[in-house]
Amino acid sequence: MYYLDLTLTEAAENLALDEALLDEAESSGRPRETLRLWEPARPLVVVGRSSRICSEVHVDLCTEQGVPVLRRSSGGAAIVAGPGCLMYAVVLSYRLRPELRAVDRAHRCVLDTIAAALRPLAAEVACRGISDLVVGNLKFSGNSVRCKQNHLLYHGTLLYNFPLELIERYLAMPERQPDYRKGRGHRTFVANLPLPVHSLRAALVSAWNAREPYGVWPRDRMLQLVAERYGQRAWNEGNERAVDSRQSAVPNGETERGRMA
């Protein structure tokens, strides 16, 4: 598996690069798997492809405090990220892993792989809900998936030293909640996994055996996606009716699922 540890300057570029890596794998004509790691330099809110921003995000406060609100290409609800939150993405091949075509199996496969890598460092790590990683009954990782014809993109968050008060500050309570949350607010539901970031990085690299440097990453495709989507107000704010329709009719046979928040 290829390995790319790269944080770009702009938030929109970082979101676009995840999709660009998926697109490059699709266009390669062969299985091309990649692990990418990055960490935002400043706080940002990222909503799911089908999110209703007005119901998930305290938009006025984000605007007042200069926190960008951007939309990703995968499903799930809104997240807050920033320094102290390691972001990861894996692009995986259906040819090498045909069981991943079932989305529930994809969630379980990826999360079980990451959980197994973290348990030697934190014994209580487990999978809960559709796409969460927890320590005890506290969530430290939310994840979501984007599926194309030959590959999928699975990406998410790993909170390790994040100011958790920002989650409550910028996000409303989600309308959809996993059963194990039991109505808890953000401050009593989410936690940091108390591990140094270098240990998290090493665990992920080992878990996916990501040993081959990526080389020349798809800069041009990333910039194209920023220009067409991630840097555009129309994409990020979204037409609520149009966004909802993508859940049942995503173009080119793609699907997007998960609960990253």
Which tens digits make up the pLDDT trace of 134-164? 999 999 999 999 999 999 999 999 999 999 9
Tokens of 171: 């996000």
C-alpha angle 235-185-82 in degrees, rounded to nearest 5: 45
Determine the pLDDT at residue 258.
53
Determine the pLDDT at residue 14.
98
The CA–CA distances, whole Å, from 104 to 43, 110, 239, 253, 259 equal 30, 10, 28, 17, 12
Determine the pLDDT at residue 260.
60
Determine the pLDDT at residue 259.
52
**The domain that contains 247 carries what CATH number?**
3.30.930.10
Count of domains forming the chain: 1
Tell me, yes or no, if the pTM score tops 0.85: yes
Cα gap 15→50, rounded to integer Å: 16
Determine the pLDDT at residue 242.
41
Determine the pLDDT at residue 243.
41
Neighbours of 206 (CB within 10 A): 11
Tokens 């994809």, located at residue: 106
Domain that holds residue 252: 2-259
Q: Which residue stretches of the chain have pLDDT < 50?
A: 240-256, 261
